[in-house]
Structure 1
């Protein structure tokens, strides 16, 4: 009897979902859930950088605050997508979020891009996991961290990640452009913001290259 009640409840719930869902297919729902994972990965990545800059042996509070806000913003993007899926009668499916996965994505972007970066590997994962490793193309050995231009390296990682997220959003938009409402939401709430973020981070990278390390980086940190 208990199982019959549960089955009846599930059947009623499914019927209610069908009342809401209109031209919102499984492929679209899957794609949106994958984008939620990307946004949460970006949030986790930025939180790692926030805690890195807050360390007493780094002591750049402006950067710590900047990346803390960036982490919250990416999480809010994920929450917006979750709310949207529910609004359209879909199913939110949360997947495992690993810091190393996003570091691998950023490293791949640093290594393959035609843009000019200081390194070809994202070092934050090596530092946050306690590893001391020299990786191809750039020295990530944390014992030599005094030679790092911390802010510049972080912003370069950020630019790659923001460009990656933007590219995935563009694919999502193109692949589901027959869904007028989804297209509107992506354009209004996500794509415009990504373009602005990419320009802002690119400007910060140029400024940090001019400022250099030491006093220049310290003064830059004060303005964040």
Structure 2
């Protein structure tokens, strides 16, 4: 209380001197008097003085300890991540490179088949069998690309994705043109698979060779045979409206899996909409 009254009296005295000094000088004088009074009260009390000095010493000693740490854990730098040290399991760089080329060839076919499916699904083309067939091929090529990607990663390699360009002319005009292009795509992919297998055998990589032969080659031969048969049929029947309709129906009935049947999906969606509209 005594301290409070002393400060209050000092403030009162400063307020009386407003006519003599400016307001800024009053504030500065007030802070000067207050700080001087606080210092006098602190250092006149031995307990406060002892507490402040001990607290200051403890802070300085703590700072000194933190700066004088010589342990190896403090001085060592963390390891670089990624480390760059790949355990590639005897995975030759040439084989890794050609597998990446095969991966990107699968993505190219994936892109082409998507273009074909979208063309035959157009309103002015309306061939659901061809649309479903190429959408099915699109999904198969995507699955193949993912399998190559996973294999390269499993062997400790690095996946390199290249830019994939779409077809120069995406107006396929007729089913025969699209199926001829698809046949050539399958032949090119098969040739690349043979090249990959040759590189695997060159470096005695039995695992890679087995992966190519057992996982892809037989299915690839079946795809080429299937495409060649469809090209033969289209070349024989021509491009008349009725022939195109019958060919499209045959493709939908015999070459397309049920989960890729566009007509079934549309009918299923339409039936769901009808059920929703019923009261």
Q: TM-score, normalised by structure 2?
A: 0.59
Structure with the greater alpha carbon radius of gyration: 2
The aligned residue for residue 182 of structure 2 is 158
Q: 2:235 aligns with which of 198, 206, 209?
A: 209
Matched residue, 1:35: 102
Which of these residues, 187, 199, 202, is aligned with residue 225 of structure 2?
199
**Could you list the runs of 5+ residues in structure 2 that have no partner in the other structure?**
1-73, 252-279
Give the corresponding residue for 1:135: none
Tell me by how many angstroms 1:210 deviates. Answer: 2.4
Residue 83 in 1 paired to residue 110 in 2? no
Unmatched tracts of structure 1, length 5 or more? 101-124, 129-139
Q: Which residue of 2 aligns with 1:10?
A: 82
Q: Is the 8 A contact 2:153 2:159 kept in 1?
A: yes
Deviation digits for residues 8-28 of structure 1, max 9, x if unmatched? 3322xx44x32xx22102111
Are 1:176 and 2:187 matched, yes or no?
Answer: no
Q: Is residue 48 of structure 2 the alignment partner of residue 22 of structure 1?
A: no
- Cα 1:34–1:127, aligned 2, differ >3 Å: closer, same or farther? closer
Deviation at 1:169, TM superposition (A): 0.9
- Count of matched residue pairs: 173
| CA deviation after TM superposition for structure 1 residue 31, in Å | 0.9
Q: Report deviation, 1:171.
A: 1.0
Partner of 1:137: none
- The answer on 1:64 being equivalent to 2:131 is yes
Partner deviation per Cα, 1:22-61 (whole Å, 9 max, x = no partner): 2102111111111111100000001000000001111101
Distance 2:91 2:218 in 1: 23
Cα deviation for residue 62 of structure 1 reads 0.6
Q: CA deviation at 1:172?
A: 1.1
Give deviations 1:86-121, integer Å, cap 9, x for gaps. 111111111111114xxxxxxxxxxxxxxxxxxxxx
- The answer to whether structure 1 residue 99 and structure 2 residue 166 are counterparts is yes
